[in-house]
């Protein structure tokens, strides 16, 4: 996981991360890149984490591809879904604040956005583990 998000020099393609497995708190999650036409769940979102199948799905043809830096968006999206996987695997996936979403999206996004910065500080101080 950490390898993936720190490779900033690599251009993200439709196949990037497709079929890659990551270990989330001891459970293997497989990442898939799919088009909206291949997965109906992508009609309402650009990616999701499915704890029932231990999979993370990222859309490969979403409108953010037209951003000046779509790689930034795809990395942010994948970090977000990985944070969901961590919540799922640590037992905090269930509803405790909102009925529809369980863990609040704001918290998930905050962690997903701040984690690379936190990682750099921890790495600099050599306090990762
Ligand atoms: Zn989310």
- Retrieve residue 22's tokens: 């990551």
- 125 CA distance to ligand 1 middle (Å): 30
Determine the length of the chain. Answer: 129
- Retrieve residue 40's tokens: 């109906």
- Strand-pair partners of 96: none
Q: Are 92 and 86 in contact (CB under 8 A)?
A: no
- 67 CA distance to ligand 1 middle (Å): 20
- 93 CA distance to ligand 1 middle (Å): 11
Give the three-class secondary structure for 31: strand
Tell me the whole-structure pTM to 2 decimals: 0.78
Query: Does 2 score more than 60 pLDDT?
Result: no
Tens-digit pLDDT profile for residues 56-95? 999 988 777 777 888 888 988 999 999 999 988 988 776 5
- 128 CA distance to ligand 1 middle (Å): 25
User: Lowest mean pLDDT: which of 42-46, 51-55, 88-92?
Assistant: 88-92
- Sign of the CA dihedral with 104 first, then 3, 29, and 119 last: negative
């Amino acid at each position: 996981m950490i390898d993936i998000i720190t490779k900033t020099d690599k251009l993200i393609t439709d196949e990037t991360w497709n079929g890659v497995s990551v270990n989330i708190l001891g459970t293997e999650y497989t990442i898939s890149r799919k088009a909206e036409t291949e997965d109906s769940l992508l009609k309402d979102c650009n990616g999701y984490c499915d704890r029932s199948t231990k999979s993370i799905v990222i859309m490969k043809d979403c409108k953010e591809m037209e951003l000046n830096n779509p790689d930034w968006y795809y990395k942010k999206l994948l970090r977000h879904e990985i944070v969901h996987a961590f919540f799922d695997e640590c037992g905090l996936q269930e509803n405790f604040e909102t009925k529809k979403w369980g863990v609040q999206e704001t918290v998930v996004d905050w962690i997903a956005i701040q984690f690379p910065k936190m990682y750099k500080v921890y790495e600099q101080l050599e306090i990762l583990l």
